[in-house]
Chain A
Amino acid sequence: MSKIMRTDRFPTGELIDRLKPIEFTFDGKKVAAYEGDTLGSALAAQNIKVLSRSFKYHRPRGLMCVSGKCPNCLVEVNGSPNIRACITTVENKMNVKSQNRWPSVKYDVFSVIDKLHWLLPVGFYYKSFYKPRFIWNLVRPIFRKAGGLGRINPKAKSILEKPHKAVFTEIAVVGAGLSGLSAALSAAEQGVEVTLIDQLEHLGGNNKDLLEEELVRKIIAKKSITIITGAPVFGFYPPNLITLDTAEEMIKLHCEKIIIATGSHEVPIIFESNDLPGVMLASGAIKLLKLYGAIPGNDAVIITESNEGYSQALELKNYGLNVVAVLDSRTEIEPQLSKPLEQAEIPVFTDVKSIQAIGTDYISSIKFYYADNWRYLDCDLACSSGRLQPALQLALQAGCSTEFNSNLNTLVPSEPPKQIFLTGGLIGISDKNDSSNHGKTVGLAAATNKPDLKFNIKDNSTNNTKFTNICSKNKRFICFCEDVTSKDLSQAIKEGFTDIQILKRYSTITMGPCQGKMCLTNFIRESSIETGSTQAELGLTTLRPPVEPITLGSLAGPGFIPIKRSPLHSKHLELGAKMVEVGGWIRPYSYIEALTEVSIVRNNVGIIDVSTLGKLDVRGSDAARLLDFIYVNKMSNLKIGKVRYGVMCLENGTILDDGTVARLSDDRFFITTTTTNIEMIESWFKWWLASDTNLDVALVNITSEHAAINIAGPNTRNILQGLTTTDISANKFPYMTVKESFIVDIPAIIMRIGFVGEIGWEIHFPSIYAEHLWDELYNRNVQAFGVEAQRILRLEKGHVIINQDTDSLTNPLEIGLDHIIGSTKSDYVGKNQIHQQYNRGIKRKLVSFTMHEKSPTPQDGSAIIHRGDPIGRVTSARRSPVNQKPFGLAILPYNLSIKGQEVFILINEDLYPAKVSLESIYDPNGTRLRA
């Protein structure tokens, strides 16, 4: 028989581009591939058969399902572990490594475990290595090294966080195989808006043919059908939400109705050493040939228990493989099945009793029991053919129950809830005509709200006999992920674990990376045989989301939060500012150099865009009463024209937010909040108003309606006086006062306050004039400064930033705000708990600190160490532009918050001394501020 050169490809291979050769490395060796190849197909074409080592016994494993459903081809790609080689498209120069092996996937030291399996019986972690106790300590490190899947690289770049998106649809169709396509089209023809989803990159499913292609053409032409491909649906959440993981985003699809057409897929037949590399699913072998022209082997044996095996044998033969034989467990075969094989000269053995794969690292022959004799067939490929498992996870999560289906000899979903519809291979339909007709009927029913599903499905049930097990030395694997054999299963059942849920937990079958995709059917079947209960009596294990593996990045991704821009955004860009995202806004970090900006503000004058501050307009005869209640300060005694720094707390006494309160008239206040908190503060105010609807207060959030510019520095007065007729001299416009007036010709609320510690004004005015006023100021030679300079300036003053220098447990006493608490007020939010705290005494305090000029600057969050123990943390730190010393704010235990106390700060694993000071390092008496 003429052998094909192994690295050749067959002329088939729809997906590869032979004109574009590329290459990657596998365990350091170069592997040739074509554009369009997957890692799996390229490795198969190069005759590299062992891709990984198994979880428990470290047995060699190779491609099995070629559809991303089994655990066998997990590899590490460019540092990311547990990537499925068979569905990962090759990119040039990819660095691929095998996993779970040492030193190499070919010679793995731990494979000795395979020989020591008697040490690791089913449930071994419940019963071995317990006595004597010290044994566990000896073996634990070895298990830790041998076990697990892949290695996480702590230095790896952080994974892609996918944004979350919410989408709505009338009918979602999950699965774009024949039945799904038919359902989508017939629903859309009723004028309903449909979303069609498939996890493959194309429509038409795995068995795409002329019939499917025609439907796909019609569907693409239909405007009312939205198509989402390459998107595994990984979960169902009540009442009707499904989640999709696409390459760019995580989609939450809200559906009125869902048609589930997830189909069925091949799973392995159980025989001895059925995990040897070279033993594959027939569908996997065909896929390699058809899509990539990659040759999984030359001489194939087909192992089957259904009619499927016969057509698959012919298909493989057509691709040019030598099909050595078909081994069928059934006794009687219809002649029209075996006829074509006779013509193709493929021998068929029926009533085959037992099968064993033979080979060391990969298969070299098949041994089988036929007509009372053992026989051998040489081969380098054995295809397990025609055992199907419905993809029923989603249907079960959606609330379907199950029933036994004799076509598939397994459980399929049934009795769907009202808004859920099932069709296709999922419920055991195998005939193509049936699939498309049933799909159509279901689509119509879903679209017209008339679930009339009288439908007769052709009974294709085959007399499924199982391959028995005559010699029993070799392992017959049920669960490839966790290395559980049929012997383990029967052992567990003998030990009394007969309930399917408990049996799963004890044996760990279905609990590995495939999450039952390769083993659920086999698990239930074998358990039913072992226990004598029917499959229906046993039922299924619970199939929770995620149905498909997803990265943590998909779950952790940000919700859809738009980033806000200030009305001065384009001015900042014009000035070449370096921009950063802070608290949901994109803001200038610096324009020139932060330290230069700092010194200009300290010595001359600067402006900063503070439009991002939250702004509330509060009016009404009860406005003062409301503020008295919400702030810990007293606000009702604030004089008209005055400004007060205010803090509000939650009812538990912790700080919620801070800002300024300006009284514009008897019944009108203008409030600012921190940039990040405005949405929350708005709802907080509104909640108190909703709780007491008798209060006469009107509240408007004018954050985006108003821009704000802060001008500060010793020369501010010279600049500003030139722009307004209002007298801004020290007497007429003192510190902490407010005026409504005009700057140039713009109506504004002008407050004399000083976050950065210099004489300055905060000007709030309608956003439409933002650029106009900015230009007026900027053109008078005023330096623009960004958030970094502002942070340094405020830190030198010891001004606190809420949520930076405080956390969700900080109370006002801990940041030294005892004096602002309105002690004459009978009630305010948080009063009871602040008083309790006061009586107990506080345990920690925010203090300033300085360090030696030679020490590095600590990062925000660095640990503070005292006598070897971590006792606090740095909340903000910078290097002072004045004396070059690192300084900042830190939270310390109360007993250490003493002036001059020495503590140590952990920076890059070294300790550096710091001294506690209780006052700000710049202008502690505020003379500059009040000037």
Chain B
Amino acid sequence: MSFNISCPTCGDRQVEEFQYGSEQEPRPSHESSDTEWNLYLYSKNNTPGKESEWWYHQYGCKRWILLIRDTSSNQVQSSIDPFMEAN
């Protein structure tokens, strides 16, 4: 597997420079039930198709970015830096 990810800070880079984090999912709150927590932790969607994911530019700017990636074709549709979005 090899594809490019466009880092909002560094530009187009090989996927090897990045580290996969996880699917982007809201974290349950401390008031959520054990079942909700167990589902959040242990049952990942992992569906083929578009997925919103966290990736970390380990060998670059060392920033987290949010990708929309098609998991069946590895097409990256968008990548944003949450801090840049916030400003």
Contacts and interface: CB of A to CB of B under 8 A. Distances in A.
Interface of A: 166, 237-241, 252, 254, 651-652, 679, 682-683, 686-687, 690-691, 693-694, 826-827, 831-833, 836
A686 B21 contact: no
B9 to A, nearest CB: 13
A827 B30 contact: yes
Interface string B10-27: 000010100101000001
B64 to A, nearest CB: 4
B2 interface: yes
A831 B83 CA distance: 27
A683 B19 contact: yes
A239 B76 CA distance: 13
A693 B82 contact: yes
For the complex of A and B, list the 9 residue pairs with the smallest distance between their C-beta atoms, beginning with the closest.
A827-B30, A690-B64, A693-B86, A241-B2, A832-B37, A690-B82, A683-B56, A693-B82, A237-B2
B33 to A, nearest CB: 9
Interface in B29-87: 29-30, 32, 34, 37, 41, 54, 56, 58, 62-64, 74, 82-83, 85-86
Contacts of A691: 27, 82
A237 B82 CA distance: 31
8 contacts: A240-B2, A651-B27, A683-B58, A683-B62, A687-B21, A693-B82, A693-B85, A832-B37
A836 B36 CA distance: 13
Contacts of B41: 651-652, 833
Contacts of B21: 687
A239 B3 contact: yes
A687 B32 CA distance: 22
Contacts of A836: 34, 37
Nearest to B40: A651
A826 B16 contact: no
Contacts of B30: 826-827, 831-832
Contacts of A826: 30
A260 B50 CA distance: 33
Contacts of A651: 27, 41
B64 A687 contact: yes
Given A238-B2, A687-B56, A690-B64, 9 more contacts: A166-B14, A237-B2, A238-B1, A679-B58, A683-B58, A690-B83, A832-B32, A832-B37, A836-B37
B34 A832 contact: yes
Contacts of B27: 651, 691
A329 to B, nearest CB: 46
Nearest to B87: A693
A825 to B, nearest CB: 9
B16 A682 contact: no
A687 B64 CA distance: 6
Contacts of B83: 690, 693
Contacts of A241: 2
B62 A686 contact: yes
A833 B33 CA distance: 11
Interface residues of B, number: 26
Contacts of B58: 679, 683
Nearest to A829: B27
Nearest to A831: B30
A283 to B, nearest CB: 35
B73 to A, nearest CB: 9
A527 to B, nearest CB: 33
A827 B28 CA distance: 11
Contacts of B62: 682-683, 686
B19 A827 contact: no
Nearest to B37: A832
B29 A166 contact: no
B3 A238 contact: yes
A254 B29 contact: no
A254 B82 contact: no
- Among A237, A252, A693, the one with the most B-chain Cβ atoms within 10 Å of its Cβ is A693
A826 B64 CA distance: 27
A905 to B, nearest CB: 35
A309 B54 CA distance: 61
A241 B3 CA distance: 9
B76 to A, nearest CB: 12
A450 B15 CA distance: 28
Nearest to A825: B30
Contact of B37 (A239, A686, A693, A833): A833
Nearest to B26: A691
A686 B63 contact: yes
A691 B64 CA distance: 9
Given A166-B14, A690-B82, A237 B56 contact: no
A443 to B, nearest CB: 24
A833 B82 CA distance: 28
A836 B32 CA distance: 13
Given A237-B1, A238-B1, A687 B54 contact: yes
A686 B1 CA distance: 26
Contacts of B63: 686, 690
Nearest to A692: B82
Nearest to A686: B64
Contacts of B3: 238-239
Contacts of A166: 14, 16
A850 to B, nearest CB: 39
A393 B32 CA distance: 53
A247 B74 CA distance: 32
Contacts of A827: 29-30
Contacts of B1: 237-238
A617 to B, nearest CB: 15
B24 to A, nearest CB: 9
A885 B19 CA distance: 45
A686 B55 CA distance: 12
Nearest to B54: A687
B14 A254 contact: yes
B26 to A, nearest CB: 10
Contacts of B56: 683, 686-687
A683 B63 CA distance: 8
A239 B15 CA distance: 11
Nearest to A701: B62
A370 B40 CA distance: 77
Nearest to B14: A254
Contacts of A687: 21, 54, 56, 64
